Structure 1
């Protein structure tokens, strides 16, 4: 059965930002005295809100983060986005195909509204989701809790059981399943086995998305 709403994660699903962001984050954590590389950053932090990321870093290092840590991290990350950020291959036409079939779409991200506006703007995807961006800052609990997905569905006026979530992280898939939604795990850069174990159906190319939600054979 076709969904009435497809909810897209942003980082790693719409915009190819995970590599950039996790390299910057790993460098920042290393400067705090806790050695980390990009793979370690992805393992620890992908899919989490920045509030949760910061709490985890403080637990790792055993000390509170400096007051200027987050603004500095964001400034470096955004500067690198402006140089090299791109859309995930084939995602624009995939979203357009979903919308052309009369299925509603929105974004539900652990990122802040400002970050989504920047990344979607830089990649030319912003017009596809005007007025339909939902952030973890709007709910009490971020992913892996179901709160953000339930919030997005409610704001969009759709029953959770009629929603499909497109995610690339274990916390995101876990939250979608907990919300009672069908989860599609985008495994282009994520371990497919981990996404499957969390409850997702797996795909690795955005050109497959229309068929997965029943638009083509």
Structure 2
């Protein structure tokens, strides 16, 4: 597609809010208490970009002894840490400012629940700014890597998929964007570029570079 797009769709965790390092440590510690000792790198490889329900299924297959109420207790642990510690991804406010200045819309599409996004986006000062264009896997039939959440966001905005670009930091999310028929840019500040390079149209390491990739500066 020719940039700039008509709509930019952001993943939430790891793209808008720097929540993944915090969540990964909580997951690692919790699974260790339930008999599964894995490294942070393994947590990232197995679980980043998915759902906690998926974590539960995979962890049990790997030998974790998880109680039936694990999902609720795990959400509670993660939410407590995020509410106290999560910060915005460096540079993301400048990206949103540039999109506003260019008159380009944006929305959020996440595999996380709405409650989690309310916590992280409120603490980081983004909740009010994004209210009304926040989409969760709770809003659609299938989570990422299915394209449902991005297709719904685009449809509600009245923008065809080919005029959208997705910003993702996980292979699962990038596959969702591509399956939706959208361009996808991979944010690799905290992700191994080799995991996203085969899927994304381009990679970038700093949010300061994103306005240029989207060709926003030509609109000034």
Q: TM-score range by the shorter chain?
A: over 0.9
Give, in angstroms, the shift of residue 57 of structure 1.
2.0
In structure 2, C-alpha distance between the alignment counterparts of 1:162 and 1:149, rounded to whole Å: 12
In structure 2, C-alpha distance between the alignment counterparts of 1:49 and 1:139, rounded to whole Å: 14
In structure 2, C-alpha distance between the alignment counterparts of 1:200 and 1:54, rounded to whole Å: 32
**Contact (CA 8 Å) 2:36, 2:64: kept in 1 or not?**
no
Q: Give the alignment of 1:104-119 within 5 angstroms.
A: 104-119=105-120
Q: Give the alignment of 1:120-135 within 5 angstroms.
A: 120-135=121-136
Give, in angstroms, the shift of residue 62 of structure 1.
7.0
Give, in angstroms, the shift of residue 145 of structure 1.
1.3
- Unpaired runs of at least 5, structure 2: none
Q: What residue is the counterpart of 2:142 in the other structure? A: 141
The answer to whether 1:40 aligns with 2:42 is yes
Residues matched between the structures, number: 216
Q: What residue is the counterpart of 2:51 in the other structure? A: 49
Q: 1:62 to 1:22 in 2, by over 3 A?
A: closer
The answer to whether 1:10 aligns with 2:12 is yes
Query: For 2:165, what is the secondary structure of its paired residue?
Result: strand
Q: Deviations over 1:47-72 (max 9, x none)?
A: 11222222222322276x31331222
- My pick for the range that moved more, 73-82 or 175-184, is 73-82
The answer to whether 1:194 aligns with 2:195 is yes
In structure 2, C-alpha distance between the alignment counterparts of 1:99 and 1:170, rounded to whole Å: 28
The answer to whether 1:19 aligns with 2:21 is yes
Structure 1 segments of 4+ aligned residues over 3 angstroms from their partners = none
In structure 2, C-alpha distance between the alignment counterparts of 1:193 and 1:78, rounded to whole Å: 30
In structure 1, C-alpha distance between the alignment counterparts of 2:22 and 2:201, rounded to whole Å: 25
Query: For 2:216, what is the secondary structure of its paired residue?
Result: coil
In structure 2, C-alpha distance between the alignment counterparts of 1:199 and 1:79, rounded to whole Å: 33
RMSD value over aligned CA atoms? 1.4
| TM-score normalised by length of structure 2 | 0.93
